[in-house]
Amino acid sequence: MIETIKLGTLRWSHLFRPTEEELQALQDHYHFHPLDIEDCKSPVNLRPKIDIYHDYHFLILHFPSMDIQGEFVEAKEIKVFWGKDFLITMGKSHWLIKELFKQEQNETLAGQKMTIESSDALLYKILEYMIEDTRKLVDLIDQSVDTCGKELFSRKPEKTIEKISITRKNVILLNTILKPQMNLFNKLQSGAIRGFADNMENYWGNIMDSYQRAWDIIEDDRELIIGYSKTFDSLQVNKTHEIMKILTLIASIFLPLTFFASVFGLMIKLPVREYMQSNLIISGVMLGIALFVVIYFKIRKWM
């Protein structure tokens, strides 16, 4: 179903999972390029891009969101037909666009006049709304990275490595979502991509600044989480070495004692057996050997 808000001469239409009939109606009315319509039919997320025509622009944008479980980041795709007196948004999920659309629709029905007078200003408002939500998600992941740093020396390595792994995956996913669109927003700011209204450079610059800040945070987090992961691995390797060292020392101490006990446990006549205090003598010799090994290891600084 195509829902439309009329703002003077400007129209904003929104489609959720558009059907073949709805896409055909759009092509018949606006004469969009057939390849753009094919992109709208694609069941998979496409790479972010902008196609420029003389009477409209076609954008594919990605913004991050948490999955249903609230554990991993996923990309939400938005397709936008941007013309002089119209803006058409569509996607596989209503998500924030639907929320903003309903908000403006309710204000229009209530008789509140919308101050937006151009499709460029409307697109700016949508992008600002989306990037603000992106910043909140980036801040959440940034806090998760800080938590990983604090839990590096935790005594629960299983939970720590799970937290680091999940956070690292989310940072990588955010990176792959944000990076391809940097060039697109930079072209809007620089004027390489022209809109349909004048004096929008500062607004596109504000979008670029907000996007750049989010990107910088993710870049820093990427370096941090890689460092935390390597540090955690080093700590676990060092802990394993310490355990193996202790076990080796224990084995080294008990090895001669085991050999000594085995020899005197044989059913053969040995000179010491003739003494009444043979058990005490053997125990004393074994204790002496153990002390000698410990002292030798300490002198060599092996323990």
Per-residue pLDDT of the chain (303 residues; tens, 9 = 90+): 777 888 778 888 888 888 899 999 999 999 999 999 999 998 888 899 999 999 999 999 999 988 888 889 998 899 999 999 999 998 776 566 777 777 776 766 655 555 677 899 889 988 998 899 899 999 999 999 999 988 888 778 788 888 999 999 999 999 999 998 999 999 988 888 888 988 888 899 999 999 999 999 999 999 999 999 888 888 888 888 888 888 888 887 777 777 767 766 665 565 655 665 666 767 777 788 778 777 877 777 766
pLDDT at 115: 66
How crowded is residue 142: how many other Cβ atoms within 10 Å of its Cβ? 19
Q: Which residues face 62 on adjacent strands?
A: 77
Q: How far apart are CA 104 and CA 113, in angstroms?
A: 10
Q: How far apart are CA 197 and CA 204, in angstroms?
A: 12
- Residue 71 Cα distances to 67, 167, 175, angstroms: 6, 9, 17
pLDDT at 280: 72
Q: How far apart are CA 154 and CA 165, in angstroms?
A: 15
**Among 26, 207, 200, which residue's Cα sits nearest to residue 117?**
200
Q: How far apart are CA 45 and CA 63, in angstroms?
A: 11
What angle do helix axes 34-41 and 20-30 make, rounded to 10 degrees?
160
CB 174 within 8 A of CB 250: no
**CA-based angle 166:171:175, to the nearest 5?**
145
**Among 214, 211, 213, 219, which residue's Cα sits nearest to residue 185?**
211
pLDDT at 254: 79
pLDDT at 174: 94
User: For the chain, which domains are there?
Assistant: 3-237 (1.20.58.340), 240-299 (no CATH)
CB 141 within 8 A of CB 73: yes
Token pair of 108 as six digits: 């229009």
DSSP collapsed to 3 states, the chain: CCEEEEECCEEEEEEECCCHHHHHHHHHHHCCCHHHHHHHHCCCCCCCEEEECCCEEEEEEEEEEECCCCCCEEEEEEEEEEECCEEEEEECCCHHHHHHHHHHHHHHHCCCCCCCCCHHHHHHHHHHHHHHHHHHHHHHHHHHHHHHHHCCCCCCHHHHHHHHHHHHHHHHHHHHHHHHHHHHHHHHHHCCCCCCCCCCHHHHHHHHHHHHHHHHHHHHHHHHHHHHHHHHHHHHHHHHHHHHHHHHHHHHHHHHHHHHHHHHCCCCCCHHHHCCCHHHHHHHHHHHHHHHHHHHHHHCCCC
